[in-house]
Amino acid sequence: MTESYSTEAAHLEAILLVGGQGTRLRPLTLSTPKPLLPTAGVPFLAHQLARAHSFGVRRVVFATSYRASMFAEAFGDGSAFGLSLVYITEESPLGTGGAIRNAARALTSGPDAPILVLNGDILSGHDISEQVGLHVARRAAVTLHLTEVDDPSRFGCVPTGEDGRVTAFLEKTPNPVTNRINAGCYVFQRSVIDQIPEGQVVSVERETFPGLIESGELVLGYADRSYWLDVGTPAAFVQGSCDLVLGRLASPALPGPCGESLALPGSRVSPSAKIAGGTVIGPGAVVESDASVRGSVLYADCVVESGATVADSVVGVGAHIASGAVLRDVVIGDGAYVGPGNELLAGARVWPGVRLPPRAVRFSSDG
């Protein structure tokens, strides 16, 4: 096992990539960037920032683009997390590499320092100190966190040699050569970031990493089997929130004890309601008698009436689910109304403010 890096002594800096528009999570992201969506009771990034601090990170540069001002409004100077936060905005999207290069102008570390790069849509339980320690010990150009998945054909896979050296970045293929994939957390040598072209659209996955490998630079893989989840889809977003509440992934930012549910201050839940599966009940939300809510995220001020069923779903701010309605694996936008008798299934999405009148019809993403 690699020795952990003394991040406390080194004042490790990090770049946090949060510029995406989160189109796969619409309508949740129409008004809120994906990394700020309430997740297990706090903005998603609160979990990443708290974990980064626990591994000795003390300064974070946000690489923002979509609704950039909302990040500073949410986290300010970072003092609540014991961090110093800086915000750098892209005038136009620059890709992953371009965003890292653009944010690097706010770094204070020297050319030989390790720089942690985090993606703002990943939940991970891996040991950041070990990853940084491996990078420093081997004097790598870049060290990537790799995770193992059951179906690597849905991802680009990353084969490595016996010494951990990354040998290639392979696009999605029906017959992957390995089940290890890029997990989206990198440690760069600062000087390597400075070599990325400035002000240009650059992909680290398609350009920077393959280019380093081709030129003979040491690109390492830090592989482990800890908890890992990309929360880019509604189903994964709900799963991530529930896993945090259930304690499947520890987070210093969780605003309450782990358990079957997390009821935030100001929420009201009837004693006869059935709440389970890591459900979060947002501030001001109401769950009435005999309602059933399992494995779901209820945003602030929403209402789930008596006898309604909500499973594996997100109910937006101020939305109203009428008595007898059934939601399974769906997203309900802010202020929407789902009338009695509606049964919404299998990926259906209701846009903000939409009203579904009482009826006995099933809705799903398949029509």
Q: Which residues are catalytic, by number?
A: 172
Dihedral sign for Cα atoms in the order 144, 15, 101, 71: positive
Bridge partners of residue 327, in order along the sequence: 310, 344
Distance, CA of 156 to CA of 28 (rounded, Å): 27
The CA-atom distances, in angstroms, between 120 and each of 45, 232, 313, 361 are: 7, 10, 22, 38
Distance, CA of 284 to CA of 47 (rounded, Å): 22
Distance, CA of 173 to CA of 267 (rounded, Å): 47
Please name which of 297, 304, 309 lies closest in space to residue 243, comparing C-alpha atoms.
297
Phi-psi region of 18 (alpha: psi -120 to 50; beta: other; left: phi over 0): alpha
First to last CA, the chain: 51
